[in-house]
């Protein structure tokens, strides 16, 4: 635990900035110096925009001094996954084939950050195309908790930068778990929105029908602050929801009393390490002691069968997203993602239809599981961070057991919002993570539950040693 400036929360910093006690320029200089000193080892950033960040910080400081404070993100240094278009700044998506891609407009989420007065420090490294393997031309972000360990795949740079205090908030994307995976592996909070709550305009696609964009932060309140800023109907993205954006912090002081939390002990403990299972069970007990009602539920009986549809949907939609450059420029892709795209092109329309039928059945089964509860509690991932090698990171694709995705894919299938929370350390000293799953548009309740859990625990205040 530490009170260092780079580990403070957005909620705490924003009041200091508004009052004039803390300069956005000083804050930005502090983070840029930290990136300069540490990111050569951490490898979380693909591009650092130091000059423009300082200019944005000076503008924010002048506006605030003139009484034009825009809100809690004004003057706060943040960073975004390098899937998000940034005008005049390269957006590569982890793909060598896009190394020279410089957009002429901002993604909606980036524009909304700018409108909120946030300071953009730069763009964060990720796997190629936001899948699971890296292109050999790009760095693999380190897990700040343990060198040469998994940092959460797709949004790995986002998780690493947030955990190590190189940004106060970052954006990730989640198609099969890549807000939750880096949050869990790196020990941060991750808030995956309802599908359509956050615009995907100007965000490179992996699989359009499954992609979600959301924040990684170091507290639930901070996740709510970011979600507030980036959410809402976007005429440039016809899949965004028309529902108005509520106050994401409305339940911040409400606590857990009266929340109905579903708990399938078998689902939450089968085939995971005993220390991880014990941490999740203890976390549910914390919520019970805070006044939540724990209700036994049963996850879908055919869950393993349903999960088999995800790779078909994801590979096929990825092949569609990359049709401008694959297969014509296949040699520029790394072995991992090149094979992923080849698989997508190999499936028939009937294969894709069958996979979507499995998805629809899973969605219906999830609705039945959650019909009498407010939230479902379970792990965020199937395992703690594990050792990785360049061969694993760069490919080709290893054998993948769909069962490993049981805590993430059902929620992406159904577009359900989730929050991941640090809930312990393993026997090896690596972060463990609790997940709450909500009904559509339940992001404020997830922030409420996360804040309640944090009020009774200190796991979110733990930081990786040595940074």
In this prediction, residue 3 carries a pLDDT of 65
Is 48 within the bounds of a domain?
Answer: yes
In this prediction, residue 400 carries a pLDDT of 81
End-to-end CA distance of the chain: 12
Is 58 within the bounds of a domain?
Answer: yes
State the greatest distance between any 2 C-alpha atoms of the chain, in Å, as a whole number: 62
For residue 89, the cross-strand partners are 86
Residue of 43, 81, 123, 192 marked catalytic: 81
> Cα(320)–Cα(40) distance, rounded to whole angstroms?
35
Q: Is 199 noted as a catalytic residue in this protein?
A: no
pTM of the model: 0.98
Neighbours of 346 (CB within 10 A): 12
Residue of 151, 154, 173, 393 marked catalytic: 154
Helices (H) and strands (E) in the chain, counts: 16, 11
Residue of 178, 199, 231, 393 marked catalytic: 178
Neighbours of 371 (CB within 10 A): 10
Cβ density class 37-68: b for 16+ within 10 Å, e for less: ebbeebbbbbbbbbeebbebbeebbebbeeee
> Cα(111)–Cα(106) distance, rounded to whole angstroms?
6
pLDDT in tens, 298-317: 999 999 999 999 999 999 99
Residue 446 φ then ψ, to 5°: -65, -40
In this prediction, residue 412 carries a pLDDT of 98
Closest by alpha carbon to 296, among 259, 324, 264? 264
> Cα(182)–Cα(400) distance, rounded to whole angstroms?
18
**Number of separate domains in the chain:** 1
CATH, residue 245: 3.90.1300.10
Radius of gyration of the chain (CA): 20
Q: Is 41 noted as a catalytic residue in this protein?
A: no
Cα dihedral 426→150→121→228 (10° resolution): -60
Tokens of 250: 């409305």
> Cα(229)–Cα(72) distance, rounded to whole angstroms?
9
> Cα(44)–Cα(50) distance, rounded to whole angstroms?
15
Residues in the chain, total: 467
Q: How many CA atoms lie within 13 A of 464 on its CB side?
A: 28
Is 466 within the bounds of a domain?
Answer: no
3-state class (DSSP) for residue 301: coil
Q: Is 154 noted as a catalytic residue in this protein?
A: yes
> Cα(166)–Cα(186) distance, rounded to whole angstroms?
13
Per-residue pLDDT of the chain (467 residues), as tens digits, is 556 999 999 999 999 999 999 999 999 999 999 999 999 999 999 999 999 999 999 999 999 999 999 999 999 999 999 999 999 999 999 999 999 999 999 999 999 999 999 999 999 999 999 999 999 999 999 999 999 999 999 999 999 999 999 999 999 999 999 999 999 999 999 999 999 999 999 999 999 999 999 999 999 999 999 999 999 999 999 999 999 999 999 999 999 999 999 999 999 999 999 999 999 999 999 999 999 999 999 999 999 999 999 999 999 999 999 999 999 999 999 999 999 999 999 999 999 999 999 999 999 999 999 999 999 999 999 999 999 999 999 999 998 899 999 999 999 999 999 999 999 999 999 999 999 999 999 999 999 999 999 999 999 999 999 99
Query: 113 with 209: CB under 8 angstroms?
Result: no
Closest by alpha carbon to 358, among 314, 399, 400? 314
Domain extent for 395: 5-461
Is 467 within the bounds of a domain?
Answer: no
> Cα(53)–Cα(31) distance, rounded to whole angstroms?
10
Cis peptide bond upstream of 228, omega within 30: no
Place of tokens 């039945």: 368
In this prediction, residue 2 carries a pLDDT of 53
CA angle 28–34–40, rounded 5-degree value = 130
Query: 73 with 64: CB under 8 angstroms?
Result: no
> Cα(197)–Cα(435) distance, rounded to whole angstroms?
19
Tokens of 80: 């975004």
How much of the chain is in helix, strand and coil states, percent to nearest 5? 40, 15, 45
Residue 264 φ then ψ, to 5°: -110, 100
pLDDT in tens, 109-131: 999 999 999 999 999 999 999 99
Neighbours of 147 (CB within 10 A): 11
């Amino acid at each position: 635990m530490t009170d260092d400036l780079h580990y403070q929360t957005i909620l705490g910093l924003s009041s200091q900035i508004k009052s004039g006690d803390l300069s956005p320029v000083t804050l930005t200089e502090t983070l840029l110096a930290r990136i300069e000193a540490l990111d050569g080892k951490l490898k979380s950033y693909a591009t650092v925009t130091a000059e423009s960040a300082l200019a944005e910080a000076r503008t924010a400081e002048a506006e605030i001094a003139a009484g034009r404070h825009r809100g809690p993100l004004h003057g706060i240094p943040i960073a975004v996954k390098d899937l998000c278009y940034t005008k005049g700044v390269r957006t590569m998506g982890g793909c060598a084939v896009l190394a020279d891609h410089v957009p002429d407009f901002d993604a909606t989420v980036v524009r909304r950050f700018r409108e909120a007065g946030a300071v953009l420090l730069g763009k964060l490294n990720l796997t190629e195309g936001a899948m699971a393997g890296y292109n050999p031309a790009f760095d693999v972000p380190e897990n700040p908790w343990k060198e040469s360990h998994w940092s959460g795949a797709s949004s790995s740079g986002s998780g690493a930068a947030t955990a190590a205090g190189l940004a106060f908030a970052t954006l990730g994307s989640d198609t099969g778990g890549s807000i939750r995976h880096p949050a869990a592996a790196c020990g941060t909070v991750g808030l995956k929105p309802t599908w359509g709550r956050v615009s995907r305009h100007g965000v490179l696609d992996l699989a359009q029908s499954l992609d979600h964009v959301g924040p990684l932060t170091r507290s639930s309140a901070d996740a709510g602050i970011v979600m507030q800023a980036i959410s809402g109907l976007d005429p440039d993205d016809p899949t965004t929801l028309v529902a108005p954006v509520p106050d994401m912090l409305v339940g911040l002081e409400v606590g857990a009393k009266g929340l109905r939390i579903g708990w399938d002990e078998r689902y939450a403990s089968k085939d995971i390490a005993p220390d991880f299972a014990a941490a999740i069970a203890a976390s549910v007990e914390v919520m019970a002691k805070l006044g939540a009602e724990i209700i036994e539920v049963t996850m879908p009986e055919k869950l393993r069968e349903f999960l088999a549809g995800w790779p078909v949907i994801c590979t096929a939609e990825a092949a569609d997203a990359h049709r401008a450059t694959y297969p014509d420029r296949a040699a520029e892709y790394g072995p991992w993602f090149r094979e992923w795209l080849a698989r997508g092109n190999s499936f028939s329309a009937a294969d894709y239809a069958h996979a979507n039928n499995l998805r629809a059945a899973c969605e219906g089964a999830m609705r039945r599981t959650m019909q009498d509860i407010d939230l479902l509690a379970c792990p965020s991932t199937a395992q703690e961070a594990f050792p990785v090698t360049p061969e694993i990171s760069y490919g080709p694709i290893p054998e993948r057991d769909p069962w490993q995705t049981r805590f993430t894919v059902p929620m992406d299938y159904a577009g359900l919002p989730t929050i991941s929370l640090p809930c312990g350390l393993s026997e090896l000293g690596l972060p463990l993570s609790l997940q709450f799953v909500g009904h559509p548009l339940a992001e404020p309740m997830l922030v409420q539950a996360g804040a309640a859990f944090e009020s009774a625990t200190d796991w979110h205040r733990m930081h990786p040693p040595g940074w």
